[in-house]
Chain A
């Protein structure tokens, strides 16, 4: 791990020297204690690199836990809502996990690296929960957040750029697949995953090879118009692709202090991740009750009229307030004004027409807009290259 000097409490990632050099705006954010670039040069240009070429994002601060041992699969199956036995070796699965009240604690991905060997990537720190959950299981849990450096390479030319770097055969890797290459004598794990909804890969490597990886990637990627992007561009891409962000679109259950502020998977539109056929998993009893009783909220993607992002808006049905917006953005590729909202049941069914009460400010002048909006059934950005194997040589 590359630690910062004594004059700051913020951590830096193993890519920091390269990121700092590229970060012309010198605009930094805090991601779980790590110094993270909000934007390098221009948010829109970075966003368009992701959609039209290749963007590189440092996701090292993502919490990474290694789960090994003979009970690893059984352990994960009890921990998360989906059936982990269906995630084969060399595959990655997106999932959520709940507390006993059936409330989502976090979402993340499970990497099935080898037999009895998994990595779980999470938004929130989860060491204590993972260890409590190990009672009765023969597993070893290791926090490898600082031991694994990670880069996301996202966008149509990502495959070509990485192949040019020497990852020959990468085009055969299927979505949510996982493979390993040699990088200067170190194993380089590559997964076809990402948070942009585009063709893209994530690279996982030992920290001491991080800078070399960055350098080689940008060297080989130059003809493919590769460009680093920060969290603000990522935010646009993920909203366009319909991805929820923990801490933004839902509060991790363990961080919630007020009653009723957490959400169940069903209330987040993630019911497809819940496998009630599993005999036992955290939250099962409560989720069973919720299925019988009905949910309190519904997650809705809204197509909002106009071009004013509906950030923090109330959602109205007639004069009644029925929901609030958690994420919103003007999505350039889809040319849509998208908002994610949590809508009180029974409102928010697909096709329902609602109103977003938008407030925006221009030169200290506040304006209120009542923008009609409609609940849509799918994210606004979905490109076939995200799923095609081989993805095509862009």
Chain B
């Protein structure tokens, strides 16, 4: 029998660590249980070949909430920046690259009209993102039986909408449910710009530019700018260093973190949680169990559908959570040469998404459980800013690959080599000769991401960021204010409001809700 804890927290992902830290500071005795050997969850650094390390899932930091960063004093706990305010460069086979950062865009034969239109578009979407950012910083209101807090949240949202003025408000209402493709077509001519922004709207999701909700996806990403991230940042030591800094902050607050301790079940009895049981059979009792795992893992695998009431089991079974994103890691014996890119530009965010139809075609494949033959890529060469990730003179390249199916016909082992080769060839069209530089490679498919990082379906956001699964619908009606199904059971991960991305708000909001409910939790 282990000591009694106030809170057992399942999963030391970034949101779990944030939540644990706030709870510990509020005087709770918190135990965090992590299946992996390192804390951080998807904020992980992975040595995929001897001497070569890379950020395993997320590779850019562009959404972390400043309050979370400040409250956790991450820089005092070892967080260092390798680079900040990086631009995005949309690659062109002939070297006519387009560079974008903030509201500034250049190259790629962009016209003055498009540049001006982009500045306008950026300003407008920033206003929209600000509205979202405010909604993300608090729990989502319940629509029915709302109490005063919920009503105030709704009023603030409504007021925020109204304060934007008639034109902005009606335009937001018009575009929020539609797709990025149409909105891009309305605003711009430049194919590369449209491709780049479209990719931003759907990274990590199972959507194409013509999928409804992608405009929301774009605004979701833009919330990072409202939080003060001008461009993309790279963490020194890879994203795992962020996980380590968060874990250090949590420990300093009094949180106990047990690594290599997989939770086998969340135990419930008579309508409330009683604790958790570890894979080795150890039982840990706690009046509050917080799950950083995705909602499907939490309810289906850890609680068990048969321990849920039918309505909840049904909603859990209907969560859209199929991933379409893979990760490719290449160990290179030297810095690759990209046509038309100067060496100093290699440290920026490199994107292969030449036009919207290119992305849409890439997405078509995954709808039929096939991989894209010409995938869209978000590339990082982190060793440009952080030489420590590879042996001297060597480099690593990390690419987010859209799209790869969770379960291709015949299983991944039948396709792994071919798909890896295909993605390499795709990069080689922009960086001729890169094949000869490769000393090792690793492909993480959605199935691998599920296995290694516990994300159902390999979905980065722990559930699709569609309008049917965000705000007061996330992860499903009845579980929108972090507590669900049982007294004392809370969600604090990306599956909860506001959603995925290394933001830390789901963890912070969940902690605030638990603290607010006090003894009633």
Contacts and interface: CB of A to CB of B under 8 A. Distances in A.
A268 to B, nearest CB: 20
Contact of B313 (A136, A281, A284): A136
B271 to A, nearest CB: 5
Interface in B297-328: 300, 304-314, 317
A99 B309 CA distance: 8
B271 A100 contact: no
Interface string A184-200: 00000000000000000
B268 A133 contact: no
A386 B117 CA distance: 85
Nearest to B314: A132
Contact of A280 (B300, B309, B314, B317): B309
B520 interface: no
Interface in A280-331: 280-285, 288
A100 B313 contact: no
Interface string A134-156: 01110000000000000000000
B304 to A, nearest CB: 6
A284 B310 contact: no
A74 interface: yes
Given A135-B317, A136-B304, A279 B310 contact: no
Contacts of A79: 310
Contact of A129 (B269, B304, B306, B310): B310
Nearest to A285: B271
A100 B317 contact: no
Given A100-B311, A132-B313, A284 B271 contact: yes
Chain B interface, DSSP helix/strand/loop, else mixed:
helix
Contacts of A284: 270-271, 309
B283 to A, nearest CB: 16
Chain A interface, DSSP helix/strand/loop, else mixed:
loop
Interface string A65-88: 000000100110011000000000
Contacts of A279: 268-270, 307
B317 A282 contact: no
Measured as residues with beta carbon below 8 angstroms from the partner, the interface class of chain B is 20 to 34
A133 B269 CA distance: 19
B309 A285 contact: yes
Contacts of B486: 285
A291 to B, nearest CB: 11
Contacts of A281: 309
Contacts of B478: 100
A75 B268 CA distance: 17
Given A279-B270, A285-B271, A288-B271, A136 B309 contact: no
B310 A137 contact: no
A320 to B, nearest CB: 27
Nearest to B270: A279
Interface in B467-483: 478
Q: Which of A74, A280, A284 has the most CB of B within 10 A?
A: A280
B308 A133 contact: no
Nearest to A129: B310
A136 B308 CA distance: 10
B306 A78 contact: yes
Q: Which of B269, B314, B478 has the most CB of A within 10 A?
A: B314
Contacts of A99: 310-311
B317 to A, nearest CB: 5
Contacts of A78: 306, 309-310
Contacts of B308: 136, 280
A283 to B, nearest CB: 7
Nearest to A101: B311
Contacts of B314: 132, 135
A280 B268 contact: yes
A276 B311 CA distance: 19
B321 to A, nearest CB: 15
Nearest to A287: B271
B487 to A, nearest CB: 8
B225 to A, nearest CB: 40
Nearest to A276: B270
A135 to B, nearest CB: 5
A71 B307 CA distance: 13
Contact of A135 (B268, B270, B313): B313
Contacts of B313: 132-133, 135-136
Contacts of A280: 268, 270-271, 306-309
A265 to B, nearest CB: 15
B489 to A, nearest CB: 11
Nearest to B144: A259
A133 B271 contact: no
A133 B309 CA distance: 8
Contacts of B304: 136
Contacts of A135: 305, 310, 313-314, 317
A136 B271 contact: no
Contact of A100 (B270, B305, B306, B309): B309
Nearest to A132: B314
Nearest to B312: A100
Contacts of A276: 270
Q: Which of B300, B306, B308, B310 has the most CB of A within 10 A?
A: B310
B412 to A, nearest CB: 27
Contact of A74 (B300, B306, B309, B317): B306
A285 B270 CA distance: 8
A283 B271 contact: no
A99 to B, nearest CB: 7
Interface in B337-367: none
B306 A282 contact: no
A134 to B, nearest CB: 9
B311 to A, nearest CB: 4
A197 to B, nearest CB: 32
B309 A282 contact: yes
A238 to B, nearest CB: 29
Given A74-B306, A280-B268, A280-B308, 19 more contacts: A75-B306, A78-B309, A78-B310, A100-B309, A132-B314, A135-B305, A135-B314, A136-B304, A136-B308, A136-B313, A137-B306, A279-B268, A279-B270, A280-B270, A280-B306, A282-B310, A283-B309, A284-B270, A285-B486
Interface of B: 268-271, 300, 304-314, 317, 478, 485-486
Interface of A: 71, 74-75, 78-79, 99-100, 129, 132-133, 135-137, 276, 279-285, 288
List 9 tightest A-B contacts by C-beta distance, closest first: A136-B305, A100-B311, A136-B306, A133-B310, A135-B313, A132-B314, A282-B309, A135-B305, A100-B309
15 contacts: A75-B306, A78-B309, A100-B309, A100-B312, A100-B478, A133-B310, A133-B313, A135-B305, A136-B300, A136-B306, A280-B270, A280-B306, A281-B309, A284-B271, A285-B309
